[in-house]
Amino acid sequence: MNNKSKIWIIILVSFSFITTLLTFVFNKDAPPVSEFKIPDSTIDFFKKLSDLGHIKINLVDSLNLDDYDNNKDYGSNESDFEKIEDDNFIIFYRNSNQEFKRANKTLEYANEAINPLADFFGKYYYAKDANNRKLSIYLAISADDFGNISQRIGGSKVDWAAGLTFNSFSSDGDKKCEGIILNGDVQDQHTNNLKTVLFHEMAHYNHFQCMDLINKDGFMNWEVEGLASYFAKDWNKQIPSSVNINNYDLKTDPANYADSYWMGYHVFAVFEEKYTKVGFKNMLTLSFSKSLEIAIPEESNKSFDFFLNDWRIHCNRLKGQISAL
């Protein structure tokens, strides 16, 4: 190699080094590119939903393979938890005979939910679909215990809820369910029925696994809570007799978050009633990547305002009643 060639090599190497150094200096405080992948409107919705609702969402820069390791779960590292598990679930419970029975029933119901969830959503996300992670379910024994577990898993207490689902989403759309918590009064043959509440929370889990978080833009509280209620067929289907249905618009969320349950339940009920089970499934699949304001007209071939009118007629007909659906 002659001296001229050596000089050119030195110049090229030096230029490459200086370019790399300048790139680092000018971008060291810039956020990672991945932060911009989930739409801002979706991030804002998740923050609002986490503040208002019974779904807690933690937004992180990234999720690594180790983050899915069940051995890092809160329950796996606390001596006052016992656990039973199978290929799909880990049930964490307090050591008492009554709680052992409830844990076994919870495991039974969780597995019973898999096929209906797969039929309803088009797919159930097994452990193997989430980096071999099992779905962790915590059984609290009191309201205080429920709040403490919520604090340890999600970083904040919840005053009261029958059940709570914790999710972590990375900025590039990766998902992880940190776990589901059921309150102490969630029991068989109780107002807060164990199977119903568990089915509701598992619907939240599976719904968010189905969503295309990168492309979907436009979420509603009534979409999230109503869909889980509709799957579980729970008490939220009852429309309060005192409400004026004309004051509710599906293009905006209600001022009272609790109204989201019956509003959304009856959106899906009336759609399936008018456009068949196949139409409902097609619309639901569209909703994983589109807002319902787009998905509903696309499948029904009717305007969203036309559907809103049908929804109001349906709700007025059933107001104050327990729906037969």
List the alpha helices (DSSP H) in the chain: 3-27, 40-52, 97-121, 143-154, 194-210, 221-232, 259-287, 292-300, 304-318
Q: What is the pLDDT of residues 10-54, one digit of tens each?
A: 544 444 444 333 333 333 333 443 445 888 888 888 888 888 767
Closest alpha carbon to 172 in 29, 31, 36, 28 = 36
Q: How many domains does the chain have?
A: 2
Residues 210 and 235 in one domain: no
CATH code: domain of residue 66? 3.40.30.160
Residues 90 and 197 in one domain: yes
Domain that holds residue 248: 231-318
Residues 204 and 253 in one domain: no
Residues 187 and 263 in one domain: no
What is the pLDDT, as a whole number, of residue 322?
67
Q: What is the pLDDT of residues 121-154, one digit of tens each?
A: 999 999 888 888 999 999 999 999 999 999 999 8
DSSP of 76-139, one letter per residue? GG-TT-EEEE-SSEEEEE-SSHHHHHHHHHHHHHHHHHHHHHHHHHS----GGGGTTPPEEEEE
The more confidently predicted of residues 173 and 239 is 239
Residues 261 and 205 in one domain: no
What is the pLDDT, as a whole number, of residue 310?
97
Residues 202 and 241 in one domain: no
Over residues 292-309, mean pLDDT: 97
Residues 180 and 260 in one domain: no
CA atoms within 13 A on the CB side of 75: 28
Q: What is the pTM of this model?
A: 0.86
Which residues neighbour 77 within 8 Å (Cβ) at sequence distance 6 or greater? Answer: none
Q: d(Cα 202, Cα 209) in Å, to the nearest integer?
A: 11
Residue 7 clears pLDDT 50, i.e. is over it: yes
